[in-house]
Amino acid sequence: MGFQLGGTNVLRVCKMPIQSLAGLADHYFLSETGRFDNSLGWGPEGLELKGIVKVTELQLERVEQFMAAAQYSIAVNNCEHFANYVLYGINLSSQQHTWWKDLGAEVSSRLQPTQGRGANYQTFMRQQVAELLNENLRQEHIKRANQERIDFWKARGVDVK
C-alpha cells in the first residue's frame, strides 16, 4: 500500500452509494479503475489508502495539505471535498445541495466518529509502519524457510543454488 509518483494524472473521481444509509449519501474516492483496490479517499478515520495509487507530485502535495488542514466533517471536509481538492485543487462538494443528501449527511455525521487533524498523520503513519514491519517479517520467514531447505539438502550431499 502506498503512492507511486508519475508525471501525468491517471486518477478520476469515483462515487458509490453508501449502502448503510440506503443511498442517501455517496462515498467519493479517487481511482484509476473506478474500483477500491487501488484507491485514495477520505473518511471519518482520515486518509483511506488502498493498494498502490499513482499520483502526480502536485496531487501528493495536495493530499498532504488536506491532511494537515482538515478534520473530517460530513458537511465541510467530506470525501467529495477531498477528491475534488486532490484532483482539481478545489475544495467542493455537491452532495449538500439536495434535501436527501443533506439528510444522509446528517444521519451519517451522527453515526460516524471522527478524528482530529493530528490523528490523520498518526493513523496513516501507524498503518504504513505496520505494513512495512509485516512485509519485513514475511521476507524474513521466506529467507529462513529457503535456508532450511538449502541446509536440508546440503546435509544429504545435494548442492542447491
Q: Cell numbers at residue 139, please?
A: 521476507
- In 3-state terms, what secondary structure has residue 21? helix
Beta-carbon neighbour count of residue 18 at 10 Å? 16
pLDDT digits (tens, 9 = 90+) for 59-108: 999 998 888 887 887 777 889 999 999 999 998 887 666 655 566 656 66
150 Cβ contact partners less than 8 Å away, ≥ 6 residues apart: 160
Pair 13, 143: CB distance under 8 Å:
no
Pair 25, 18: CB distance under 8 Å:
yes
pLDDT digits (tens, 9 = 90+) for 114-128: 555 566 666 676 777
Q: Cell numbers at residue 45, please?
A: 478515520
Q: Cell numbers at residue 133, please?
A: 514491519
The predicted model scores a pTM of 0.63
Pair 86, 66: CB distance under 8 Å:
yes
pLDDT digits (tens, 9 = 90+) for 13-30: 999 888 766 666 788 999
Determine whether 102 is exposed, middle or buried from the number of CB atoms within 10 Å of its CB (0-12, 13-18, 19+). middle
82 Cβ contact partners less than 8 Å away, ≥ 6 residues apart: 28, 41, 42, 66, 70
Pair 107, 24: CB distance under 8 Å:
yes
